[in-house]
A and B are shown apart, each in its own frame.
Chain A
Amino acid sequence: MKQDKTLLSFLNNNETRAIAFQVITLLIIAFVIYSGISNLMFNIEAREIHTGFAFLSNRAGFDINESMITYTPEHSNLQVFYVGLINTLVVAVVGIIFATIIGLMIGIARLSNNWLISKLAGGYIELFRNIPILIQILFWYNIALLTLPSPRGSFGFFDSIFINKRGIYVPEPVSEPGFVWVLIAFVLGIVLTVFMRRHFRQKHDKTGVHTNTLGYTAGLIFGLPLVVFFLLGSPMHLDYPSLQGFNFKGGRTFTPEFLALTFALSVYTATYIAEAIRSGIEAVNKGQKEAAAALGLTQTQSLKLIVLPQALRVAIPPTINQYLNLTKNSSLATAIGYPELMSAFGGTVLNQVGQAVEILGMTMAVYLVISLCISLLLNVVNKKMSIKGR
């Protein structure tokens, strides 16, 4: 009888149960993984699918019409991976820049005291946020292809920018030897600006004399490279696009795929950023503005020193989350064939090689890394922006 009781209490013990429960879970997970992988191995052998990453060095054999780095069909599948990765990053960066600009404008417009502007911004948000992003991408892509003229009938602007079915052609700046010095001057300008600002802030802390650094900043970051540029005798020229035969040659081309993708992504993500900005500004207590006014701060000072720092604390984390969403959504380029990672590597290479496990694994790993980087950034930002308790 007594033994029974100890056994019962042993069985009822929370710790025993916890361990048993976890061991069972582990066993189930191990079983699922084991049987999954053994089935996978069996199937892979039965279907004579190759395994391993040898396919990466094989010849790709298909052309990609849009690449930042040199690529020909003779290059390897690994090169396709790089091309796709770089294109993904390009779309993400361009999309993020435009989404932020549009989002800021719409978010501020939403709070405007101008009735029409505020309603228009609200309409924009409600319209574009409630249409799935894939529909938007396909819509703009199809509209562009349907309405734009053929290369011969292109819309031309100043004989240097041309728009037709195959994309937008703009002059491309081509650097000549010596241009690298301009870049060095630009970086130097930024470094000097940091030091200059630190100097004036220390001066402000010590003496209370405030100096407006905007002029110096502009001079250092833009003026310095310009001076170097002209001193070296303008080491850069523009390569203009021109119609040769049936197509344009020269210049820089933005394909309809790229334009539709970045446009749809920016327009869609901007609605979320606008909402983040609006809620950030609305979250600042009215008393804060009144207190700033009571202290005698000007409107600009109040905005810069009191309102914005508090609004950004609320607005920035969701905005960074939207950057991640935009990057993930760029994978929808598969639907219109813009050669980014998912489309070129996860799509075309997968169709040719058939090693779905390796290829999709690599693709997922890239998105995983990107999202980890953005999470880290978010943590850093949150730490920096959190209210410091004393």
Chain B
Amino acid sequence: MAIYESQELRKPPISQVGIVRWLRVNLFSSKVNVGLTLAALYMLYVIIPPMLGWMIFDANFNFGEFSFLGFEFGEIMATNDNCGRAAACWPFIYEKFDMFVYGFYPRELVWRVDIVFALAASLFVIVRLVRNYKYKNKVLLAMIIGFPIASFFLIGGGVFGLEVVKTHQWGGLMLTLVIASVGIIISFPIGVLLALGRQSNLRVINFFSTIYIEFIRAVPLITILFMASFVLPLFFTGGISFDKLLRALIAITLFQAAYFAEVVRGGLQAIPTGQYEAADAIGLNYVQKNALIILPQALKISIPNLVGSSISLFKDTTLVLIIGLMDMLAMVNMTANDINWLGRETEGFVFVTMTMWIFLYSMSRYSKKLEVRFSTDHKN
């Protein structure tokens, strides 16, 4: 009788397990892929080390002396001359940080802007906290109405003994955020009305809404900004004057309303006719039908696209630089014209680019998340 002994299993070949297998499958699966991988690695080698060198390893980080737990750290703050031209000079950004964030806002009053920033940040926390609270909608509504008003008076001043700060002193990241939020908040209701107008059976209203939306979408924002700054004042008499910021806000709001309208219209078109017919059948009038049945559904499915459109608006706020507002991008040239820091545009550009990128990237991630949360089709 033969005795069978089980032999130990042979291990899979080294090329088929672990990191080697991963490399073979993902990077070197064919001759073409080997070539592509090597080319990509070479490209990274050419781009990344000099970039990191400029930004970090060769850069100057001498922000000045400071003491911590009784020990002295750091060197005396770098100046433009001892910074060198070959790499970044971050002390420049450190010193001009307030300019980039607040523009020419009076230094002793920036605490008011900081409160607004803090309020905005706490809004996000509150929204998450009240998600399951009974009066959630009332809280949210109060915030949506209260926050812009509070911010307006905090930044602009004029009540409760707060010193008035004229809009030409507003600037930097603060101005960018003000323009973007005002643009989004005011243009949204206009956009909804335009969308309803374009879907309406009333010929006149339909005609004008369509003409408006299509016209605005066909021309670049810059032409509308120019219109607002050169032509708009001519439409009014009797000493009504608009300051620069208000003109830019009007232009951006009118512009964004058309884009929001198209997004909302997309949502409206996705609502089945049955919903309209059911609303009619139970005797709701036009306002009730839209406010209670159609819009809640239509807006919900348009939320991801509304966020997407808001992202575009955020990008477009940089254009106000061209009509002479002092937004964050304008601060690049403004700070590099300082006699003590001549020729530091590159640092400014990199700083502004990174700040904007962080904002826009997080917004786009958020919109992706919303898209997943609101997607009702059962793909998976």
- What is the interface of chain A, defined by CB distance below 8 A to chain B? 18, 21-22, 25-26, 29, 36, 39-40, 42-44, 112-117, 120, 126-127, 129-135, 138-139, 142-143, 146, 328-329, 331-332, 334-335, 342, 346, 350, 356-357, 360, 363-364, 367-368, 371-372
Bound CA span A36–B43, Å = 58
Bound CA span A328–B205, Å = 28
Question: Is the Cβ of A371 less than 8 Å from the Cβ of B329?
Answer: no
Bound CA span A39–B237, Å = 6
Residues of A near B201 (CB, < 8 A) are 18
Question: Which residue from A36, A146, A367 sits with its C-beta under 8 Å from B223?
Answer: A367
Contact with A along B167-211 (1 / 0, CB 8 A): 000000000000000000000000000000000011111001000
Q: Is B375 an interface residue (CB 8 A)?
A: no
Question: Is the Cβ of B202 less than 8 Å from the Cβ of A342?
Answer: no
Question: Which residue from A26, A39, A332 sits with its C-beta under 8 Å from B234?
Answer: A39
Residues of A near B205 (CB, < 8 A) are 21-22, 25
Given A18-B202, A139-B349, A371-B219, 14 additional A-B pairs, CB 8 A: A21-B205, A22-B202, A39-B236, A114-B36, A116-B37, A116-B41, A117-B40, A127-B357, A130-B361, A131-B353, A131-B356, A334-B322, A357-B234, A367-B219
Bound CA span A22–B145, Å = 31
Question: Is the Cβ of B315 less than 8 Å from the Cβ of A115?
Answer: no
Bound CA span A332–B220, Å = 9
CB distance from B341 to the nearest CB of A (A): 15
Bound CA span A382–B204, Å = 29
Q: Considering the complex, give the chain A residue whose CB is closest to the CB of B314.
A: A132
Bound CA span A372–B226, Å = 22
- Which of B25-33, B72-80, B114-122 forms contacts with chain A? B25-33
Question: Is the Cβ of B235 less than 8 Å from the Cβ of A329?
Answer: no
Bound CA span A127–B92, Å = 25
Question: Is the Cβ of B349 less than 8 Å from the Cβ of A135?
Answer: yes
A/B interface sample: 16 pairs, CB < 8 A: A22-B204, A22-B205, A25-B205, A39-B235, A43-B233, A120-B40, A130-B361, A131-B353, A134-B319, A134-B322, A135-B353, A329-B220, A356-B231, A356-B234, A357-B234, A360-B223
Bound CA span A238–B349, Å = 40
Bound CA span A355–B199, Å = 37
CB distance from A307 to the nearest CB of B (A): 19
Question: Which residue from B37, B230, B235, B319 sits with its C-beta under 8 Å from A117?
Answer: B37
Residues of A near B215 (CB, < 8 A) are 368
CB distance from A40 to the nearest CB of B (A): 5
Question: Which residue from B44, B219, B318 sits with its C-beta under 8 Å from A132?
Answer: B318
Interface centre among B29, B230, B346, B361 (most CB of A within 10 A): B230
Residues of A near B19 (CB, < 8 A) are none
Residues of B near A44 (CB, < 8 A) are 234
Question: Is the Cβ of B37 less than 8 Å from the Cβ of A135?
Answer: no
Size of the chain B interface, CB-CB below 8 angstroms: 51
Bound CA span A22–B332, Å = 50
Question: Is the Cβ of A134 less than 8 Å from the Cβ of B329?
Answer: yes
Q: Is B371 an interface residue (CB 8 A)?
A: no
- What is the interface of chain B, defined by CB distance below 8 A to chain A? 26-27, 29, 33, 36-37, 40-41, 43-44, 201-205, 208, 215, 217-220, 222-223, 226-227, 230-231, 233-237, 315-316, 318-319, 321-322, 329, 332, 343, 345-346, 349, 352-353, 356-357, 360-361, 364
Asked whether A112 and B220 contact (CB < 8 A) given A43-B234, A132-B356, the answer is no
Residues of A near B237 (CB, < 8 A) are 39, 42-43
Residues of A near B343 (CB, < 8 A) are 146
Question: Which residue from B43, B204, B219, B364 sits with its C-beta under 8 Å from A364?
Answer: B219
Q: Considering the complex, give the chain A residue whose CB is closest to the CB of B176.
A: A132
Residues of A near B345 (CB, < 8 A) are 142, 146
Bound CA span A107–B43, Å = 18
Residues of A near B29 (CB, < 8 A) are 113-114
Residues of A near B360 (CB, < 8 A) are 130-132
Asked whether A40 and B234 contact (CB < 8 A) given A115-B26, A120-B40, A143-B346, the answer is yes
Bound CA span A264–B184, Å = 27
Bound CA span A235–B227, Å = 50
Bound CA span A364–B251, Å = 14
Q: Considering the complex, give the chain B residue whose CB is closest to the CB of A328.
A: B220
Residues of A near B357 (CB, < 8 A) are 127, 130-131
User: Across chains A and B, which 7 residue pairs bring their CB atoms closest together, nearest first?
Assistant: A115-B26, A356-B230, A371-B218, A130-B360, A132-B315, A22-B204, A328-B220
Question: Is the Cβ of A139 less than 8 Å from the Cβ of B220?
Answer: no
Residues of B near A372 (CB, < 8 A) are 218
Question: Which residue from B235, B322, B361 sits with its C-beta under 8 Å from A335?
Answer: B322
Bound CA span A367–B215, Å = 10
Residues of A near B319 (CB, < 8 A) are 134, 332
Question: Is the Cβ of B27 less than 8 Å from the Cβ of A116?
Answer: yes
Q: Considering the complex, give the chain A residue whose CB is closest to the CB of B233.
A: A43
